[in-house]
Structure 1
Amino acid sequence: MAREISLVEVESLVGQEIGLSKWITVDQTMIDAFAAATDDHQFIHVNPERALAESPFGGTIAHGFLSLSLLSAMNYDALPKIREQTMGINYGFDRVRFMSPVKSGKRIRGHFVLADARFRGAGMLMTTYEVSVEIEGERKPALTATWITIVQFDPKDRPL
């Protein structure tokens, strides 16, 4: 995929996978930092010995919200830049499903399918992505979601 596209091109890409991010390693240091930031210190995330002994996962796993939050980094890495964009806004999610745990030390990457793109107002393009977060070597994704973002641009740049 081109690293930069124009507003005119966006609608023609609906239905296509337009981004695949690089791999991100989710290690225990990252999991511990996320636990500290969110005050979620459940043992399945932060206690490798106990998680090995008492959980069905064979060790610690990432928080589902950690995997979800990494979509921002995956987005910046994978999606083409829209030439006319002045700002991007996270509008939210219509659906998020945590499908499979991400074990500490595993690598994940994001797949982005542009599901919809609609001009809203003079200087806004609302984009909807069907995203999935792949776990290296695993059959099931870590998560799937419908993610809505807004591309802000100067209204004079809007295609006719």
Structure 2
Amino acid sequence: MAQMIIKSFEELEALKGQEIGKSDYHIITQEQINLFAEATMDHQWIHTDPEKAKKESPFGNTIAHGYLTVSLLAFLWEQIVEVQNIKLQVNYGIESLKFNQAVLVDSKVRLVAKVVDVKNLRGTTKANIGVVMEIEGSKKPAFEGEIVFLYHFN
């Protein structure tokens, strides 16, 4: 369940410059990593071979695909904000994204979100959201960046 409900351009615009919440922690399991490898056809051993990774990886274990962590954005965003009174929501883009640290298997990650900018583009709301994926127990985040949503409010 989302921590905040937004129903209009004006409500979203009023949050500009503010951190608006943190998602729950999500555990990245080996099963999830393997399913992502199947879906993307990226079977690099550093992700999918726990035995080899324990012996040969500089991380000492398997790690999540960077794009797996990015793919969790929508799921974790919806824990922070529920946008209501819309006809359509579109994932419009990523303005910037930097991977800072690998996410080891069985790590817990969560999303921290901040409203960076909100614009009215002829009736379509363009929302730039600053995102940081924190790793429980780590000072460095998995990634940080800025994602962009388009909302078509009623």
User: TM-score by structure 2 length?
Assistant: 0.94
Q: Which residue in the other structure is 2:54 paired with?
A: 52
Q: Which residue in the other structure is 2:142 paired with?
A: 142
User: TM-score by structure 1 length?
Assistant: 0.91
Structure 1: distance between partners of 2:146 and 2:6: 22
Q: Which residue in the other structure is 1:12 paired with?
A: 14
Q: Which residue in the other structure is 1:86 paired with?
A: 87
What is the identity, as a one-letter code, of the residue corresponding to 2:92? Y
Q: Which residue in the other structure is 2:105 paired with?
A: 104
Q: Where in structure 2 are there 5+ consecutive unaligned residues?
A: none
Bigger Rg over Cα: 1
Deviation at 1:2, TM superposition (A): 5.5
Moved over 2 A (4+): 81-84
Deviates more, 1:125-134 or 1:15-24: 15-24
Structure 2: distance between partners of 1:2 and 1:58: 36
Structure 2: distance between partners of 1:30 and 1:2: 26
Q: Secondary structure at the match of 1:65?
A: helix
Q: Where in structure 1 are there 5+ consecutive unaligned residues?
A: 155-160
Q: 8 Å contact 2:3–2:80 — kept in the other structure?
A: no
Structure 1: distance between partners of 2:45 and 2:53: 6
Deviation at 1:4, TM superposition (A): 1.6
**Residues 51-100 of structure 1 deviation map (CA, whole Å, 9 limit, x = unaligned):** 11111101000000000000110011112x23322221000101111100
Q: Secondary structure at the match of 1:102?
A: coil
Change beyond 3 A, Cα 1:39–1:2: closer
